[in-house]
Structures are given as structure tokens and as C-alpha cells.
Amino acid sequence: MAVKITYFVHGTTTDNERGLSSGWFDVELSELGIKQSKELGLLTKDRNFDVVFVSDLKRAVESAQLTWGDKYKIIPDARLRECNYGDYNGKSSDVVEPLQEQSITIPILNGESYEMVKERVKCFLDDLKKNYDGKSIAIVAHKAPQLALDVLLKKLTWEEAFATDWRRTKQWKPGWEYILN
């Protein structure tokens, strides 16, 4: 059997609006992010999930709660956190975003590499396969875990994952589908 995963990103944050990359900083959804999360509930009202996993950062938890309320069990998991940008958490996205693609194997100063994020996500996927085989789950999280899914499940290189990322191509969707065999 397989696990069907639908991946959602959290709503816009106050940091996003200020051009900052939050990383592991725990920031609030903006008014726009609250609106986006509520609208996502309407866009996904006909979908059914067995459970929803979220990053333990409040922007992801709050997004899921605003989207589905108590319709699904929501389980926070720290392995779904954004990349830890270390000394660059909360810094300008103009500085952090170029560092991301330079930090695939070498950690950002006092933070993580994208390979480290991939290992966190792989551990999460191993647990999913063991405990949710044959189920349909939703994930609400961040950029780095989504790129890790592209590498792990769609077999993209990191370079391909960054190049085709919806944030770069400006092609947001109300959920991205992945299959875990």
C-alpha cells in the first residue's frame, strides 16, 4: 500500500510581509495569512484526510487550525520545521534565500543544511509509512520540508527542487500531491 500525502504551506506571516526569512523563529500569521488559511478550508472542503501533521511552529499550527478547525486530528511534529537558518533566522530574505541554495550540504552558520532537513523529513516519512500505510494525510509546513519531499519522493536533485519551487515559479496551488510507497 501507499500513503497519500497532500502538502500545504502555512499562510503568509508578518515576517513574510516584511521581507524576512523566519527560519526557526516562531512568528505570527499576518491578516493576509489568516484570510488565506480560512480560504484554504473552503478550497479543500471536499477533500478528506485521516490526519493532519503540522510543523510545531505556530504559523503552521495556526494555519491548520484556521483551515480545518476540529474536522481533523492535528498533530504537531518538529521534524516538519523550516530549515534552521542559525545566525540568519529572521534576517532579510534578500540575504537568506541565496544562502539556501549554497547550504545544501554545508550548514548555514549555527544552523542546518538542506541535507539535514532531508534527514529529518526522511525520519518522519519512515514513521508515516509504518503507522499510516494506506491512509491519506495532510501536512502543513514550510519551504524546506516541501523541497525535501521533492528530493525524496519525486527524485529531484536539490538544484531541480529549488529551480521548480512554486515560490520561484509563482505557481501556488491548494495542495501538492505526493505518494509514499
Active site residue 160: no
Query: Active site includes 142?
Result: no
If DSSP codes are grouped into helix, strand and coil, which group holds residue 153?
A: helix
- What residue type is assigned to position 43 of the chain? L
Cα distances (angstroms) measured from residue 150 to each of 31, 39, 45: 30, 25, 25
Q: Which position among 10, 62, 112, 142 bears the catalytic label?
A: 10
Q: 7 and 139 in contact (C-beta within 8 Å)? A: yes
Give the C-alpha distances (Å, rounded to integers) separating 85 from 14, 60, 68, 77.
18, 17, 30, 19
Q: Which of 17, 28, 31, 82 is catalytic?
A: 82
Q: List active site positions.
A: 10, 82
